[in-house]
Amino acid sequence: MLEVDLHSHSTHSDGLLTPAVLAARAQANGVKTYALTDHDELSGLADARTAAEALGMRFITGVEISVSWADETLHIVGLNFDAQHAAIVEGLREVRKGRQRRAERIAADLARVGIEGTLEGARKHARNPELPSRTHFARYLVERGIVSDSNAAFRRYLTKGKPGYVEHQWATLPQAVGWIMAAGGMAVIAHPGRYGLNNKERELLLGDFRDLGGVGVEVVTGSHTKDQYETWARYAQRFGLKASAGSDFHGPGESYLDLGKLPELPYGLTPVWAAF
């Protein structure tokens, strides 16, 4: 088991646990090096650091930035940066403003198929008013009994081509990588196997990302199958990128892998955490 987990979510974005409770769970599960990576938000980091360090863990500053790239939404994880740096603080503030406008459009789209009141409903589930997420819409649709679980909410609504999915312009890839680098951190492509990219698009993304100064890809993540660990290990080697690992834990019962329950990286990779 790895003693590292560099991808997790708290109530400051779409996770179910507070930063302090998450840190305690990480420590109980054997984590020694831990990062909180809330979506587009840094407000949970101070509490997470206090709790993690009190428990004797090494805490790494983190974030997961929403990016639009070639018709896809990508997630770029930033690690080990200065969370007070103006470039990333202000960049993310703009991304969160975009989230508010998108939430209104998602609610309007759901209203068109007869599901009213979802903006207020989703907002009730979002503990951070600056961060309404599709996850909060999903939890509200479950609460209303419109779907039986979150997965069904995404399958029937909220994803491309379904009611409740709206196109949205997030940060650009150069912006996200640039903010992370300006703040002294490392940029990592989150769960690269999850995007609908063909081989050519994957190569284009990895090349672009590396040219911008990106340094790593997640290889071991709760969003990859075992086969995908191998696939992305080979891409990392081919493109001279380091490997990251994180559960992408959102809460008990909501995630495939529990916090800190990660297998070792495939052989022959340079872990991003070797540089911490």
Residues 138 to 197 in contact with ligand AMP, rule: CB under 6 A: 150-151, 154
Site string for ligand AMP, 220-259 (x = CB under 6 A): ------------------------------x---------
In whole angstroms, how close is the CB of 19 to ligand AMP at the nearest point? 17
Instruction: Name which position in 49, 96, 134, 191 contacts ligand AMP (CB under 6 A).
Output: 134
Q: Is 38 in the site for ligand AMP (CB under 6 A)?
A: no
In whole angstroms, how close is the CB of 151 to ligand AMP at the nearest point? 5
> What backbone torsions phi and psi does residue 184 show, to the nearest 5 degrees?
85, 15
- 3-state secondary structure string, 69-118? ECCEEEEEEEECCCCCCHHHHHHHHHHHHHHHHHHHHHHHHHHHCCCCCH
Q: Around Cβ 124, how many Cβ atoms within 10 Å?
A: 12
Strand ranges inside the chain, DSSP E = 4-5, 33-36, 58-69, 72-79, 186-189, 216-221, 242-246
Nearer to ligand AMP by Cβ, of 122 and 241: the residue is 122
Which residues in this chain contact Mn ion in the complex, by CB under 5 A? 14, 64, 75, 190, 248
Type of residue at 15:
G
Q: Is 8 in the site for ligand AMP (CB under 6 A)?
A: no
Report how far residue 67's alpha carbon sits from residue 219's, in angstroms, rounded to the nearest whole number: 19
Q: By the criterion CB under 6 A, which residues form the site for ligand AMP?
A: 14, 39, 66, 133-135, 150-151, 154, 250
